A and B are shown apart, each in its own frame.
Chain A
């Protein structure tokens, strides 16, 4: 859609008068953007170069906080955890979401019921998801006990208390919550696939799964990218789920950067260190989703027919 084009310079004044109410209407948004989106963000970056402990101070200590940050075991571990979580969670949610969308797309009965079941976890809070899975995976009373009572006495599924495996429980819970979202996004894409394609490939005798993998999947790539970006953002924000499900434990084995930052700001009186970690998070997110935002939303578009 074309927006009304501004008139040339000579009518600038009358144009300005006509636009004045709109400019006034944008003031609240502008104030919020300047004070919070930019102001608070830059303030955090600024604090990361200071020696702030419990209260903010505005000295300059160079990269001292960053040196400390990368020497802090908890932060280094948190970064590894979030990388592992991110890869598994995004890959898992995309794979499961895609499969669910494909299976639902087979003109099944009760399609609405299936869709509703797969997407409902997405409507709930991460706190609820975390507490539900914490209980479900409880080693002494949860799933492990159920399977053992069925006669498999040696069955073990105590990942929640295993330092090496606890991250995987977070991955499972998060996939449970988010794969329905991927399904919903991809299903919309599948519905847009031309029915001629199916006729043509049927005549050619190409197996359905082949068509999905080689033709349909590439067609869905814009939606896959969108879904990946959404999932990636929730990886960077991962905090509530950890707080509710594992509290970062056992030990430090499920600590994540977002939690590291919160703890250093509000519990450990380490504002400078927390700010340095927050700045690292900011840089990572901007580097990851910046290009996508530009292409998807900000790039000037030429005659979209």
Chain B
């Protein structure tokens, strides 16, 4: 773990007390933010015998990666002991179609709302927007009934549809805001040239949409990967996402908790969004700012 240290080397400016305070505060804050991650990592590399001694901050005396293998391939959820990998692959299977389809639909909806004047579109947008703020609990029970009736409850299709439905708010908002900032002249020129709805979308709007598609992908990948309540309710026994499996592994154990395995499984579950976060850098911040309705 690398913590940023106090700057070394020549700094022409005076190094007064104020600057010292600034760095002291930032370093203490960094410690606060990093400690839980540090503790998780250390715990996952220790043996249970060492964990029982309770030095959660200390470096492992006997460094081992056994817990990681156990967490991945043999940790138990209920009666089955196939590890968290089952959840990992389930999450991937949920993630890929959900991300692609929700972005496609959000982009299409945002495009139609921005450049065309369809009656009722503003009302549609208003409801979508308000919907983004309303807790899932308000919709969830009737959705379960509805999905049972049409036969997609407890299935991969069901959970993907749910992610598309609830992703629609944020995606439409993102694309609509982005498209509104594009120069309308390009759109008008294409239309004067006789280009139709799809032609303009494909040849004028889409080529300019790379930044917003990246932002949308970051938001949806992290958001859908981190989802718990929807996966728990709609995915069914065979498709439970990684977060649901993780919670089962940790919170429904019998006997002494295997903290080493628990923490390895926890980090494994966090790896995908963390990788997206570290790889995307400022894009993530941009996404957070742009999709300011995410909650």
Contacts and interface: CB of A to CB of B under 8 A. Distances in A.
Contacts of B3: 117
27 contacts: A3-B180, A25-B112, A33-B168, A38-B127, A40-B138, A106-B19, A112-B281, A113-B2, A118-B29, A119-B284, A119-B285, A120-B33, A123-B284, A127-B228, A128-B226, A128-B269, A135-B43, A237-B295, A239-B135, A240-B243, A243-B247, A243-B251, A262-B229, A265-B141, A281-B135, A285-B133, A293-B130
Given A37-B139, A132-B37, A136-B36, A240 B228 contact: yes
Contacts of A100: 26, 29
Given A35-B146, A123-B274, A109 B7 contact: yes
Looking at A114, A143, A271, A279, the one whose CB has the most chain B CB atoms below 10 A away is A114
Looking at B2, B35, B278, B288, the one whose CB has the most chain A CB atoms below 10 A away is B288
Nearest to B273: A123
Interface residues of A, number: 105
Interface of A: 1-4, 6, 18-19, 21-23, 25-26, 28-30, 32-33, 35-41, 43-44, 47, 56, 96, 99-100, 103-104, 106, 108-110, 112-129, 131-133, 135-136, 140-143, 145-146, 149, 176, 180-181, 184-185, 188, 226, 229-230, 233-234, 236-237, 239-240, 243-244, 247, 258, 261-262, 265-266, 271, 274-275, 277-279, 281-282, 285-286, 289-290, 293, 297-298
B152 interface: no
A37 B52 CA distance: 49
Given A243-B247, A247-B251, 17 more contacts: A21-B198, A30-B124, A41-B138, A114-B26, A123-B273, A125-B225, A131-B266, A132-B37, A135-B39, A135-B262, A136-B56, A141-B51, A141-B259, A184-B288, A243-B251, A265-B137, A293-B129
Interface residues of B, number: 105
Contacts of B34: 117
B192 to A, nearest CB: 12
Nearest to A116: B278
Contacts of A3: 114-115, 117, 180, 184
B137 A278 contact: yes
B189 interface: no
Contacts, number: 292
Interface of B: 2-4, 7, 19, 22-23, 25-26, 29-30, 32-37, 39-40, 43, 51-52, 54-57, 105, 108-109, 111-121, 124, 126-131, 133-146, 164-165, 168, 172-173, 180-181, 184, 188, 196-198, 222, 225-229, 233, 243, 246-247, 250-251, 259, 262-263, 266, 269-270, 273-274, 276-278, 281, 284-285, 288-289, 292-295
